[in-house]
Structure 1
Amino acid sequence: MMKEVTRYIAAFLTVALLAGCGGGSCNVVPDRSFTTNINQAQHLDVFATKGWVYAQGGYAGLVVYNTGSQQDPKLIAYDRCSTVNPEKGSRVEVQGMLLVDPQSGAKWLLEDGSPAALAECPLRSYSVGQQGNVFYVQN
């Protein structure tokens, strides 16, 4: 009798664990391969301290942000696709130090892409590399 109860409990916990794995995932923005070059000639604003720019790439475009300085830029990049109902393809917009989804009202911090209001998942970030004076964003 005890072994049977233990089996039922184990089966219940396994089903509960598997069911919980799919629903709460933050990997919600569709995957798309790309490489985008970021340079001063085409994207001057991002090279200012705390500067940012919209760029091509990703699923719904990119927001590229400089966490460094004008002399020592450190660029990070996010997909503009809102993680709130990503199937709608709503593009986030920079408003001060926030990224805002105009459809849902969700907000993320520009500094690191983490949720600030309504959103549960951070914005999708991409790898940024550098070769000389050219930065490149890629998936």
Structure 2
Amino acid sequence: MKKMLMISAVLMTTLLLGSCGKENDMDQIPYVYVNFVIYPNTIDFIPVGSYVYSSGGYKGLIIYRQLSDDFRVYERACPHDPLVENARVYVETSGIIATDSVCGSRFLLTDGSPIEGPATIGLKQYRTRYDGFSLQVMN
């Protein structure tokens, strides 16, 4: 029985560690400090159901206003190919889907989830704090 438990433990460890290969590490989006404030009702106007591009992050940001008090901020680097120099995520004319310019992965702006293409994880999302007047974006 002890031998069976030991074999099971070794097998589980091998499976868990084996899934964390260098290939996944290479595709990670580099960390860039983000902490700024915008004013989505006045100076930096963003209508409900719309978006703006902003500087910051690794390759820029998409600030999407889902509801009057609900904002989503996404990194413009695609999680599938973040290190490709000219690859950026752009919002389609629909205003609700974003597409990577190189791999063609498509993402819903409501939650950042992938809906098409080789990307298997969603867009990197930044934290927000909204007080009805100013929107703070941070990581």
Q: Does 2:97 align with 1:98?
A: yes
Q: Does 2:83 align with 1:84?
A: no
SS across alignment from 1:87: coil
1:36–1:136 contact (8 Å) kept in structure 2: yes
RMSD, aligned α-carbons: 2.5
How far did residue 92 of structure 1 move?
Answer: 0.1
Q: Does 2:64 align with 1:65?
A: yes
How far apart are the structure 1 equivalents of 2:130 and 2:48? 17
How far apart are the structure 2 equivalents of 1:4 and 1:112? 46
TM-score of the superposed pair, with normalisation by structure 1: 0.81
Q: 1:74 aligns with which of 70, 76, 98?
A: 70
If each structure's helix is expressed as a fraction of its own residues, which one has the higher value? 1
How far did residue 11 of structure 1 move?
Answer: 2.1
1:27-66 alignment runs, 5 A limit: 28-40=28-40, 41-44=42-45, 46=46, 48-66=47-65
Change (3 A) 1:127 1:3: closer
How far did residue 131 of structure 1 move?
Answer: 4.4
Larger radius of gyration between Structure 1 and Structure 2: 1
In structure 2, list runs of 5 or more residues that go unmatched.
Answer: none
TM-score of the superposed pair, with normalisation by structure 2: 0.81
SS across alignment from 1:17: helix
How far did residue 5 of structure 1 move?
Answer: 6.1
